[in-house]
A and B are shown apart, each in its own frame.
Chain A
Amino acid sequence: MAALGSPLRTLRGLLRELRHAGGRAGRPYRDTPAYQHVIAAFRANRVTSEQLCRAQQELHFQAATYLCLLRSVREHEALHQEYHGRGERSPEEVAGLVGFRLPQQPGGKG
């Protein structure tokens, strides 16, 4: 079984990611289906005395995987906005980078 760490930590991380992801204007993130589902799933699996309960481990792995997905998508998008968000430079801007100006060609390009 994969080394997953503490289920509580995974749950906390997952709820935090859902807070970033969800909650459109007016609707608090706690009301979203995803939040409700995660909380319910963790609650349902809490009631067991077995340490190595397979269902618990499967749920934990699923939660950890979903956490990885949400976190990675958010981080990727942040990097995208920071480095690739501005699109390409126009030819004028590129010329300006090295101190040139594009020539004026009244008749259009030859």
Chain B
Amino acid sequence: MTAAVFFGCTFIAFGPAIALFLFTIAREPLRVIFLIAGAFFWLVSLLLSSLVWFISVQISNKDSAVQQKGLLIFGVVLSVLLQETFPMSHPPDLSGLGFGFMSGAFSVVNILADSVGPGTIGIHGDSQHYFLSSAFMTMAIILLHMFWGVVFFDACEKQQWWAVAAVVISHLVVSCLTFQNPEYVASLVPTYVILFLMGIWAFYSAGGSLRNLKLCLTCKDKDFLLANHRPR
């Protein structure tokens, strides 16, 4: 594996997230603090769920592979549920992005570190697309976390419990889709469909509309221009 694979996968996985960070967060220390707080809450939820998983593994039959896999699936579901119960701080997109960054980092950083070293992927018959699919999956997950955060917070504010349930269920669906790996097509395509739908939903709950979008893209949005001191 080469540096090309490493850089390519890193940029695929973290590109959009870092762009979001640079354009919307980096200038204000307070926003950075919220981002890090989001990351920290994700970490705490991970630690709690891995504690439960660890205990359950210790008391289970270690030789049975089926049981171990079942326990792992249980661990994943528990982890998703715990993540959703953690208090979403305001602003929601930052805590969502914090969740996303941490989740993405934990999923993919070790893989990226391995990709710099020597070796050939899939030499024993495993899929050759391990790195690439990991990178795409990570990108989807990071963006999804942010969208989930926005929708979740908005739904909590407006007390629309069906929306909260929809967020939790879609998170579970995405995680469970990954159980089909290494059938990457079966897991990646639906994930991206869900990403697209959640993105649109988050856009509308954050107050966006087609009209805003048009104004923004043609640089005619007066509020945005005034806020950034740019002439039309």
Do A and B pair up? The answer is no
